[in-house]
Amino acid sequence: MARPESSPQPSSGLRGRFIAAGVSQVSNANIANLITVVRILVAPLFVWLVVIDDGANSGARWLAGLLFVAAIATDGIDGALARRRNLITNTGILLDPIADKVLIVGALGALWWVGELPLWIVLVIVVRELGITVFRFVVLSDRVIPASRGGKLKTIAQAVTLSSWLIPTWIVLGSWVFVLNWVLMAIVVVLTTWTGIDYLVKGLKAPEKTNER
């Protein structure tokens, strides 16, 4: 989740507060930022596991899915910790949305690589996510749009859907899981497209900077 609910604290490299609450200088290597970095580093690991499994649904695929779930489920923990302990830094504000995008794009890319997702679905979601990120930083530097319910729903739908695709539960539950996965993916494509268009329209009309991911 986005962090900025208060102003970033002054930071100077690695010196400063690591976990303690307060108003003094904060280390860029504080606990909240470290959690964010770990989430980013998990992405290449689960992608590699999916690739080496190559559709065999072995232990590597189960581990990949569980790593993704752990990384995506901790979204918000780093931001909440930063806010509660006053550890918000510009570094953390920058890294937090990057972690989310890396996880989503990594999962989509891995599923495409092993032939489970068509390229057009991957491109629709990736272009939307990266395009909105660039749009926010470049165009909306002086505008604010409140985070929409649609954007939050889209994020939840992506997390649930990709978790279901990555963990091979169909081995245990049966082939109906494939039908469920495709229904969930269709919902994700619709939500991703709709919220992207809605965000662009609101962003171009808004007078100030945006908060939405």
For residue 79, the model assigns a pLDDT of 75
Q: Quick check: 150 pLDDT over 70? A: yes
Q: Quick check: 144 pLDDT over 60? A: no
Question: At 210, is the pLDDT very low, low, confident or very high (cuts 50, 70, 90)?
Answer: very low
**H or E element in which residue 207 lies:** none
Q: Quick check: 110 pLDDT over 90? A: yes
Pair of tokens at residue 50:
């999916």
Q: Using an 8 Å Cβ cutoff, are 30 and 82 in contact? A: yes
Q: Quick check: 131 pLDDT over 70? A: yes
Q: Quick check: 184 pLDDT over 60? A: yes
Mean pLDDT score, 95-110: 91
Q: Using an 8 Å Cβ cutoff, are 161 and 103 in contact? A: no
For residue 1, the model assigns a pLDDT of 47
Beta-bridge partners for 12: 15
For residue 8, the model assigns a pLDDT of 57
Domains and CATH numbers, the chain: 31-205 (1.20.120.1760)
Q: Quick check: 52 pLDDT over 70? A: yes
Write down the residue that tokens 């976990």 correspond to.
19
Q: Which of 36, 32, 37, 40 is nearest to 84 (CA)?
A: 32
What confidence tens digit (pLDDT) does each residue in 16-51 have?
A: 676 666 666 778 778 888 888 999 999 999 999 999
Q: Quick check: 10 pLDDT over 60? A: no
**H or E element in which residue 122 lies:** helix 119-138
